[in-house]
């Protein structure tokens, strides 16, 4: 079946540095790519998304890049803060449903 692969299972950065999480997808029909944050014991929190009609989107400290040719997308968190520490999930749509990566545990050291 169609898959979304999240390449970094863990990522550790120093406060103030940038963090980059990379994902690839297999379904050429995917057109919507959201990112979610999950803190310990909590549910998924929507953080940012990108649609296939653009290749870059920024919301404050978050930047999402999309390379449709390579079927790759990435989340860049700039000027990281300790409260950014969480598990981040990428996803891609297949029709209405989302297929998720298996998460990247980001630790921001103060």
Partner 1 sequence: NSKVIQTPRYLVKGQGQKAKMRCIPEKGHPVVFWYQQNKNNEFKFLINFQNQEVLQQIDMTEKRFSAECPSNSPCSLEIQSSEAGDSALYLCASSYRGPYEQYFGPGTRLTVL
Q: Say if CB 102 and CB 3 are below 8 A apart.
A: no
Measure Cα distances from 106 to 11, 13, 16, 20, 70 in Å: 5, 8, 13, 10, 24
The contact mask relative to partner 1 for 77-106 (x = CB under 8 A, - = no) is ----------x-x---x-xxxxxx-xx---
Within 21-60, the residues that bind partner 1 by CB under 8 A are: 32, 34, 36, 42-46, 49
Residues that bind partner 1 (CB under 8 A): 32, 34, 36, 42-46, 49, 87, 89, 93, 95-100, 102-103
């Amino acid at each position: 079946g169609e898959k979304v692969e999240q390449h970094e299972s863990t990522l550790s950065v120093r406060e103030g540095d940038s963090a980059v999480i990379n994902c690839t997808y297999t379904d050429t029909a995917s057109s919507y790519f959201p990112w979610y944050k999950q803190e310990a014991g909590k549910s998924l929190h929507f953080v940012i998304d990108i649609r296939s009609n653009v290749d870059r989107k920024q919301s404050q400290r978050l930047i999402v890049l999309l390379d449709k040719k390579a079927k790759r997308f990435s989340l860049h968190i700039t000027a990281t803060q300790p409260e950014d520490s969480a598990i981040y999930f990428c996803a891609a749509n297949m029709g209405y449903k989302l297929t998720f990566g298996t998460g990247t545990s980001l630790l921001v050291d103060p």
